[in-house]
Amino acid sequence: MVTTVLLAVFVAVVLAAVVYRHFLPLLRNPDAPRGSFGWPLVGETIGFLRPHASNTTGDFLHSHITRYGAVFKSHLFGAPTVVSCDEELNHFVLQNEERLFQCSYPGPIRGILGGSSLLVVTGERHRRIRGMALAFVASTGLRPAYLADVDRAARAVVASWRGRCAAAFCDEAKQFAFGAIVEQVVGLSPEAPLIRRLLEHYSTFMKGLVSLPLNIPGTPYARAVEARRKISLTLEEIMDERWKGDDGSFRKSAFIDGLIANSELSHDDKVTFVLDSLLAGYETTSVLLSMLVYFVGQSPQCLEQLKVEHESIRSSKATDEFLTAEEYRKMEYTQRVINETLRCGNIVKFVHRKALKDVRYKEYVIPAGWKVLPILGSVHLDPALYKNPQEFDPCRWEGLDQTSSGKKFAPFGGGLRLCPGSELGKVEAAFFLHHLVLQYSWRLDGEDVPMAHPYVEFNKGLPIEIWCHQQSDTAPWFVGQL
């Protein structure tokens, strides 16, 4: 009897301590924005992460904005949090990186990505690794060799559709994006055995990246940790073979050679940097392409305007010529379509930051140590900023600044952490669209929408019906140029 009473008292004390610790920040910070903390331990994280169509804000944000306004407090990812759906505050947070705010991703994400990932490092180490990323972009840029590689990869994927009437487009987009990035980063063909092994582990890694952080054998998170280890081993093998000398399977790659020779970065830094590059170049580009096909596939007028623009560009070129930087700059309507897709689709829904000190902004205070989540997607869908924000309308960008960083439009983040390779992703998407719209028309095969998990995914793989504009038995014009 005494043991039972003591156990009950112990449990009651523990529960009281948990509840007290959960709600204590509310008592200590009366000037924080309005909001709610949800239940102890889990807070409101489950509701926040509940999947929803990526071209909507989702039920959680909609209900909280309606009740508390565009800036509110919550308890997410195990910490008191200020959630911002306000364009001005989002811009303020992103532009004050390392002064008032600092990158602060949850521990489980750091556990998968690695402590050297550009996404999670801070301070001087972030500046050094970001410098490597900028060097990679500078070495790639709009160089003819890079553009020819992208053009060739796009032609190969589209040419492979000959004789088909359907495709799971997400797989096609991943094939193209992975082929483009691995050649630039590691100098290997996508068909190389080492690269095939790398790709086998990559999808497992991505599925666990934002799963529940239960490192128990068999869970998506545990499988992702193991996949990360295998990816690292494969990348180490690739880099070691590169270091020993070219055996003929590698193409010349000033970037990978420069990375290996860099004495300022540890071996783990180098491996993690290659993984970051694949994550950015592969996942982001493939999702962008899938959303382009999704939105354009529902807009015959948009598809027709794309065809007119790209027919004009192709009419001035010989059939064996690759696209150039000058022709990319002529794709003005294509740029509007890409920007509108980024606005509607919201590849990056939000970013993680932490207040380094008490920050007074307008009528409220963001307490030191609290997490801050700028919700980039909510700004893109704000009816006060965009007329009919749920409508896909590339013409809204006509005459406007096409850059992808600003208060109203920040699909790739901003400030010191603006994605270094964002323009490369847009180039690859534009080149793929060029060959796609010139050779094929398509329509969606059934209902499948981009879902925010918070990463964006088409649950069914975006099945589409396709038909070639050339109805003869001859191959598309570019097949012989692969």
* Banded model confidence at residue 12, pLDDT cuts 50, 70, 90: low
**Nearest-angstrom CA–CA distance, 392 and 291:** 11
Question: Who contacts 338 (Cβ-Cβ below 8 Å, separation ≥6)?
Answer: 288, 292, 426, 429, 430
Report the alpha-carbon distance of residue 129 to residue 269 in Å, rounded.
8
Q: What's the rounded Cα separation, in Å, for the pair 433 and 394?
A: 15
Query: pLDDT higher for 442 or 212?
Result: 442
The residue with tokens 């000190």 is 357
Residue 212 pLDDT level (bands cut at 50, 70, 90): low
Question: Residues 133-150: pLDDT tens digits?
Answer: 887 777 777 788 889 989
Token couple for 456: 């964006």
pLDDT digits (tens, 9 = 90+) for 82-131: 999 999 999 999 999 999 999 998 877 877 887 788 888 888 888 888 88
Contact predicate 373/84, CB 8 Å: yes
Where on the phi/psi map is residue 109: left (φ > 0), alpha (ψ -120 to 50), or beta?
alpha
pLDDT at 334: 97
User: What is the greatest pairwise CA distance in the chain?
Assistant: 92
Mean pLDDT of 375-401: 92
Closest CA to 412 of 456, 347, 338: 347
Quote the pLDDT of residue 21: 62
Overall residue count recorded for the chain in this entry: 482
Q: Is the peptide bond before 454 cis (omega within 30 degrees of 0)?
A: yes
Q: What is the pLDDT of residue 318?
A: 78
379 vs 212, more confident: 379
**Choice between 196 and 332, residue whose per-residue pLDDT is larger:** 332
Q: Hunting for tokens 């993690």 — which residue is that? A: 272
Contact at 8 Å (CB) between 68 and 83?
no
pLDDT of 206 > 60? The answer is yes
Report all structural domains of the chain as residue ranges with CATH numbers, in order of start: 31-471 (1.10.630.10)
How sure is the predictor about 375, in pLDDT bands with cuts at 50, 70 and 90? very high
- Determine the Cα–Cα distance for residues 416 and 98; give it in Å rounded to an integer: 9
Note the pLDDT of residue 132. 78
Ligand-binding site membership of 395 (annotated): no
